[in-house]
Amino acid sequence: MADGINKLDPKVSRVLRSQVVTVSLISAVREVVQNSVDAGATALQIIVDPFEMSFMVKDNGCGMNPQDLDHVGCQHFTSKIRSLNDLQNLSTFGFRGEALFSIASIAQVTLVSKRSDCNSSWIRDIPGESKLFKASKGDTSYHFSLQPISKGESGTTVLVRNILYNVPVRRKILANEPLFKTLLALREDLFQVLILRPEISIKVSYFDQLRQWKVLISSTNITKDMDHFLKLSQSFSNIFGSVIPLDMFTKVSVKFKGCSVTGLISKCPIRPKEFQFIYLNGRKYTNQAFQKLINSIFQTTGFGAGGLSDTLVKTVGKPFNNYPLIILDVRCPQVSEDLMQDPAKNIISSSYAHLLHPLMLRVIKSFLSHQGYMPNSTPVVNDLEENNNAISNNSNLLPSKKTADSILNSSARMAKLKTYKKIKKTSPAFRQVDSGKIKPILDKLKGIYPQEGFDTEKSNEKNDCCIPTSYSNSFGHIEKLEGMDFKLDRSQLSKAEVIRQVDKKFILLKIPPNEKVACIMLIIVDQHACDERINLENYLMDFLYQVLKESLVTQPVSDCAIDINITEGYLFKHYEKEFKKWSISYEIKMLNLETCFLMVSSLPDVLTMKVQGDKQFLKNALLQMVHDLKNSVKIPITNMCDKNVFNIPRDKFEWWKYLHCLPTMFLEIFNSKACRSAIMFGDSLSISECSLLIKQLSQCHIPFQCAHGRPSAIPLLELSTEGGPSDQFSGYPKKSYLDYNIDT
C-alpha cells in the first residue's frame, strides 16, 4: 500500500473510469451505434466478433471534419449540449462526452470519417491525430477492413478491437459469457434505437464459434407512411424474430396532461419474461418495483391460464410460466435529473412517475378488461387521483378470503391455502412440523391466522390432490406456525406407534416422550399424502440415478419439427449438451432470420409416455426447460456431475442434491405418477400396513409434505398427567369433526 494520499496516474484513472461507463462488448456497441444515430444516420451496418471482443459500425451520418475527428475520444468533448439547460430539450441518446473516451481506454479504436462537402476521408487511431485516408487498411478479405468513403457521400466507420485487452481478468470473465446472452443483449439495445428511429436501416452480422459468417438482424422494411403501431410491431419482429404472430398484438394508447403511453400488448402469453419493454422518451425505464407490479396484475387476473388448453395432455397445477409481451412507448416532458441516474443512461425513477404509473396501469387494466380478464376499469382521472397509492396498494387485486371451516371437509378434494402474512420458514434440513399443546389444531389455527382462508374446489376424480403449489417450492420448506412450540422431526416419526386407521383416510399415531417433548403426542397422518411422498422420492431417486449414470431408456421420435423463434433457437443451441444429459436429442435448423425449427430426434421413455405425440405439449415443456436454465431457475446438471456417482450404490445416492437441476416437466410427471399410484382415501389398511407406511415415511428426505406441498402429518394433542385428565381438557369443549370421529 502506498504511503499517503496521491493523485492517480492519468492512465490508471482512465482505465478505472472506463469500467463505470463501458463494461462489455455489447455496451460498447450500443454507445457507438447511438452516436451514429445522433449523427443523423439512416443506415447502419454492424459487424460483431464476440470471440475476439471486436466490432465495427459503419453509418451514413453527417461525418466529421479533421478538427472534430481529433476531438473524438477526448473526455467530456461533445456536440450534443453546451449547458445543463440543454438537457431539457435533448433529442439525442448521448450527451456526456464520455463513451468513446472510455472505450478507447480499454480497447484499440480507429475511426474513418468524411463530410459530404469534403473530397477525402480522414482516419484516426485514438489517441493519435487524424490523417488523410486514401488506401484501404487491413486485409480486404477480412470483414473488419477499413475503406475510404466514396466521393460525394458522408459517414463514419468506427472499428473497435480487443476490448479489455488491458484488463485481462475482466476480459476472461466476459469471454465466458454465453453467445445467446450476448446476441440477446445486442438485439435489445438495437430495438431501443428503433423505438425512436424506426425507419433506420439496420443490418447486423457476427462470427460464430466456427468462425462462420452469420446474419443476425436485417431491419430494412419500415417506411414513414406506416402508422406508429405497425412500426412498433414490425420493429420487434425484425429484431427478435417471430416471437408471436403480428395479429396477436393489441394496440393500447392513453394521453393525459402532456404525458402519453402508446404501445402493444400480446393477447397470447409467452414463456420468456424478458420481452417486457418500457421506454421513457426513448430510454429504457428500469423501475423493477413497477415492472413487478405489472406482472402481479397479469398473474392475479389469470392471464395466460388457458395457455395449455390447446394440448391433449392434461397437467396438474401450473407447470409452465406465462407472461405477456409488452412494448410501451412513454413520452413526457424531459427532466435533466432523470438522465443522470445510470451509466447506461437508463431511467430508474421518473420525476413524472405520479402521472406515468397510473397511465400505464390504466392501459394495462383496459387491455385486460377488453380481453375478459377483469371488470371494466375506472376512469383515468380516478387512477390519477390515487397517484402513488395506485402503485403501492394493490390489495384490490387479491382474491376474496373464505373461512377455514372446510379444512377437514371430505367433500372438498382440492384446497389452496393463501397466506398474505410473511411467515418465518424453517429450514428443510430440520424437517420439523410445529404444533400447539393440547388444544385441537383448528382452534389454534383460527386464533393465530384469522386473516387466512382456504379456497376449496370440488372434484369428482379420485386421484385429485390437495393444494397444487408452484414447483419451485414442492420440495421446500415447512412453514412455522407462530405460537406453536411443539416440534416433530423425522427421528420421532420413526419411533411412532400406530393406534389405528381413522375413517379410512388418516393414520393416528402416538409419539413417545423424548428429549424434545416431555409428553406423549397424538399425531394424525394423511395416508394418501404419506404414500404419495414415499412413491415420489423413490421415483426421483431412480430417475436421477439413471440420469447421472447415463442409463435412461430412450425412444426415437420421428416427424417432430417444432417451430421456434430465432432467439429461442440460439438458446437451444447453447444448452444442447444439457438436454442431451436428460436424453433429449435434437438439432436446430435456421432457414432464415424468421424461420427456425427444433428437430427432436429422441426422448427419454418417461417423457415419451407423457407426451403421447402431443407436439404442442412437448413444445411448452421444452421451452419452459430452456428458459428456466437461461434465467438460472434451474441449475445445469452438467455442472454438478460427479464421476464418483458410478461407484455409489443406489441406496446411498443423495438424490436430493440434484433437485434444483430437475426440469419442471419431469417433476410434474413424477408428482402426477406418485399421486395416482398412492393409497387413496377410502382404502382400508391394517395396523401392520399402517406401521409399514409410517416406517417408510420416516426414511424419506422430506417426510412432512406430499408431492404438491400439502402437510402429510398434523399434531393433534399433547397428553399430560399434570392436573389430571379432566383439568387438561376442561377449558376446551369437545367438537364434532366432519371427516373423522375419534372415540377413545
Does the pLDDT of residue 81 top 70, yes or no?
no
Using one digit for the tens of pLDDT, what is the confidence trace for 526-580? 999 999 999 999 999 999 999 998 899 999 998 899 999 888 999 999 999 999 9
Helix, strand or coil for residue 234?
helix
Q: What is the pLDDT of residues 42-70, one digit of tens each?
A: 999 999 999 999 999 999 999 998 988 98
* pLDDT score of 661: 94
CB atoms within 10 A of CB 347: 23
Q: Identify the pLDDT of residue 693.
A: 93
Amino acid at residue number 564: I
Residue 617 has pLDDT above 60, yes or no: yes
Are the CB atoms for 627 and 567 separated by under 8 Å? no
Residue 520 has pLDDT above 80, yes or no: yes
CB-based contacts of 314: which residues, under 8 Å, 6+ apart?
none
Helix axes 566-574, 179-196, angle to 10 degrees: 160
- Work out the number of other CB atoms within 10 angstroms of the CB of residue 526: 21
- Can you give the pLDDT at residue 643? 65
Phi first, then psi: give them for residue 599, nearest 5 degrees.
-95, 100
**Displacement of CA 87 from its chain's centroid (Å):** 35
pLDDT attached to residue 213: 86
Query: What does the pLDDT read at residue 82?
Result: 67
Instruction: Give the pLDDT confidence of 319-365 residue by residue, as tens digits.
Output: 567 889 999 999 999 888 887 778 788 999 999 999 999 999 999 99
Rounded mean pLDDT, 707-736 = 62
Q: Is pLDDT of 25 > 90?
A: yes
Q: Map grid coordinates 406423549 to a residue.
A: 520
Dihedral of CA 321/323/325/331: which sign? negative
d(CA 19, CA 14): 9
Question: In this predicted model, what pLDDT tens digit does every residue of 619-647 receive, in sequence order?
Answer: 989 999 999 999 889 999 988 876 666 67
Burial of 75 (0-12, 13-18, 19+ CB in 10 A): middle
How far is residue 361's CA from residue 394's CA, in Å, rounded to a whole number? 11
| Parallel/antiparallel/unpaired status of strands 276-280 and 326-331 | parallel
Task: Compute the radius of gyration of the chain from its Cα atoms.
Answer: 32
Nearest to 250 by CA among 235, 237, 262, 238: 262
User: Which DSSP state fits 690?
Assistant: H
Q: pLDDT tens, 158-204?
A: 999 999 998 888 898 888 888 999 999 999 999 999 999 999 999 99
The alpha carbon torsion through 381, 382, 383, 385 (nearest 10 deg) reads: 80
Q: Please give the pLDDT value at position 475.
A: 38
Quick count: other Cβ atoms within 10 Å of Cβ 454? 18
Buried b (16+ CB within 10 A) or exposed e, 305-330: eebbeebeeebbbbbbbbbbbbbbbb
Domains in the chain with CATH codes = 8-221 (3.30.565.10), 242-397 (3.30.230.10), 422-442+464-529+680-729 (3.30.1540.20), 536-676 (no CATH)
Which of the four pLDDT bands, split at 50, 70 and 90, describes residue 585? very high
Instruction: Report the pLDDT averaged over residues 376-382.
Output: 46
Closest by Cα among 89, 568, 158 to 333: 89
Angle among Cα 406, 407, 411 to the nearest 5 degrees reads 60
Helices (H), 631-702: 664-676, 687-698
CA–CA distance, 371 with 389 (Å, rounded to integer): 25
Share of the chain above pLDDT 90, in %: 44
pLDDT above 70 coverage of the chain, percent: 74
Answer yes or no: is pLDDT of 231 > 90: yes
Nearest-angstrom CA–CA distance, 69 and 291: 42
SS3 per residue for 239-307: HHCCCCCHHHEEEEEEEECCEEEEEEEECCCECCCCCEEEEECCEEECCHHHHHHHHHHHHHCCCCCCC
Averaged pLDDT score across all residues of the chain: 78
> What whole-number distance in Å separates Cα of residue 387 and Cα of residue 118?
55
Mean pLDDT of 71-89: 73
Q: Per-residue pLDDT tens for 83-126?
A: 677 677 777 777 767 788 889 989 999 999 999 888 889 999 99
Predicted local distance difference test score (pLDDT) of residue 21: 61
Looking at residue 145, what is its pLDDT? 84
Give Cα separations from 618 to 301, 433, 632 (angstroms). 26, 38, 21
Q: What pLDDT is recorded for position 732?
A: 45
Is residue 488 classed as helix, strand or coil in its secondary structure?
Answer: strand
Indicate if the pLDDT at residue 692 is higher than 90. yes
